[in-house]
Structure 1
């Protein structure tokens, strides 16, 4: 082969300075090491960001308690703790995991445990207090005016401890119906033991229609719910309660009242990012519905607070 027919030979830079051709001219080991470190820091940041934004939230829901009656047999002779289906499905509608939080027993004879409600508050991202039996008047230093209004003192003690554990951990809390009343009691407030008897001019807040019963509410000026639902003047909500907030607990603010009787329908604790109680049942309101107030914005605010405080 003639010399002029031979392919042009590409010079090998490495033979000159032992550096790859793609390396920057006059680069130094220190500069290269700094860029490698920056790249790894960016990768770690991006991984943390993905984990922070996409890890599924874990929301605890307090348990309802079934207390056995004298003479009960079989399963009904045992204490049962359960979760009402609608509340779980409402919270899960935003693709979060729901965990019912049971009562704990650190001194039981059969199965003692070192687990406390504070452990749940540290591991879960937020708490929903579901509805159910009346709050016992003893929990706000009163006596029941009727035997049927004695409530569930055992559940009060469990949920009050659970509530304070989440508040002290900086986690958001949403109380529904009984949960709203319990929030008020937890911070020193009191309740009307029976709206019909204690507020004679009130409208009906419960009847045989149960979850079909409804009435209008109004949001006071300056309330966060008023800001959230600016286009609503008298939204309709589902109402199933014969007790209600009487004297507000410390640092509590009224977020909604019944129209026209002024019975308190929502409250908010002002010393936390999100600790709110709704006297109505948002889990019975259809998402995107037009008859009853669509309460998914409240759920979304609760879950945003849960994500923002999850690493506390």
Structure 2
């Protein structure tokens, strides 16, 4: 091969152009396409974005996330419903456990409330002056931290509580429980929390606002139906809703629904701002009441916890429970 053919040309057409500082030839400066982000800016950022605009969007996104999380947790938090305690007073000469004051709840009332996936807490009596175990806890603390109150059935309301004397010794009632439940009721009402009274609880609501009771329906209203029987929760009668009652709206179109009847006392004179929600049919004995100056304070003279959900023989009282729990959620803050 010839010598001149072995020497490469000084510049080939396809060779890169010398970019050294001494070279007089410069490549044109690379420019970003129109509308693309400036050099040093992430490609996903908006054209002309500023740190302030970006910070605003970040804060807005964080706020939306916190708001959604709060709403989700707020709606999912399980309701806490308090149930007043029944009280067993020691009998004379009793030994062991029966020599102590016992506080308990009837199983069915707890299961009825828990059927809507809420937690039930029995509220004990409190004694800030206890000799063995004094405490600063009061019933007001329970009203503050729980979402609603159910007053369960049990012993008679003492006539002394509504300024009467018992006409028979066996109708003297449970004065100690009256005082405990009256304080509990007023604490929940003052806290704006809903209250549902069952049987004795219905009577107590009426007494709490100045009403009175028939100490014995058969004695005071001899023409009335039998409202208590050896059949206990199997005893029943029909009821009717007066015009304009909230129960009438709740059970619209239901003519003379049937409820159980397990009480020998009943509402007599209505308390302040108490209105009748249901009567026994046909004798007119008060079977349900509502306190008008609160969002939800209602008493049912029958035992809804003994009615089967979805049943047709006895009134399915699940709508009452649902309204009570909705009020509890609405007022939980």
Same fold (TM over 0.5): yes
Shift of 1:17: 3.4
Shift of 1:124: 0.3
Shift of 1:143: 0.3
CA distance in 1, matches of 2:289, 2:38: 77
Shift of 1:233: 1.2
CA distance in 1, matches of 2:221, 2:177: 26
Matches within 5 A, 1:94-133: 94-133=116-155
Q: Give 4+ residue runs of structure 1 displaced > 4 Å after superposition.
A: 9-15
Compared CA separation, residues 30 and 15, structure 1 to 2 (3 A):
closer
Which structure is larger by alpha-carbon Rg, 1 or 2?
2
Give the TM-score, by structure 1 length: 0.95
Deviations 1:127-168 (A, max 9, x none): 000000000000000000000000000000000000001000
Q: Does 1:216 align with 2:235?
A: no
Partner of 1:17, secondary structure, is: coil
Matches within 5 A, 1:142-161: 142-161=164-183
Compared CA separation, residues 27 and 193, structure 1 to 2 (3 A):
same
Matches within 5 A, 1:46-57: 46-57=68-79
Q: Does 1:66 align with 2:85?
A: no
Asked if 1 retains the 8 angstrom alpha-carbon contact of 2:83 and 2:152, the reply is: yes
Q: Does 1:298 align with 2:317?
A: no
Asked if 2 retains the 8 angstrom alpha-carbon contact of 1:14 and 1:20, the reply is: no
Q: Does 1:93 align with 2:102?
A: no
Higher mean displacement: 35-44 or 9-18: 9-18
Q: 1:229 is matched with which residue: 239, 247, 251?
A: 251
Question: Match for residue 26 of structure 1?
Answer: 48
Compared CA separation, residues 20 and 255, structure 1 to 2 (3 A):
same
Deviations 1:5-29 (A, max 9, x none): xxxx997999943211000111111
RMSD: 1.7
Partner of 2:287, secondary structure, is: strand
Question: Match for residue 134 of structure 1?
Answer: 156
Q: 1:192 is matched with which residue: 209, 214, 224?
A: 214
Q: 2:100 is matched with which residue: 71, 74, 78?
A: 78
Asked if 2 retains the 8 angstrom alpha-carbon contact of 1:59 and 1:98, the reply is: yes
Question: Match for residue 183 of structure 1?
Answer: 205
Deviations 1:88-122 (A, max 9, x none): 00000000000000000000111110000000000
Shift of 1:279: 0.2
Question: Match for residue 174 of structure 1?
Answer: 196
Aligned length: 305
Question: Match for residue 41 of structure 1?
Answer: 63
Asked if 2 retains the 8 angstrom alpha-carbon contact of 1:257 and 1:263, the reply is: yes
CA distance in 2, matches of 1:308, 1:256: 25
Give the TM-score, by structure 2 length: 0.89
What are the ranges of 5 or more consecutive residues in structure 2 without an aligned counterpart? Answer: 1-13, 16-29
CA distance in 2, matches of 1:10, 1:92: 70
Shift of 1:37: 1.1
Partner of 1:100, secondary structure, is: strand
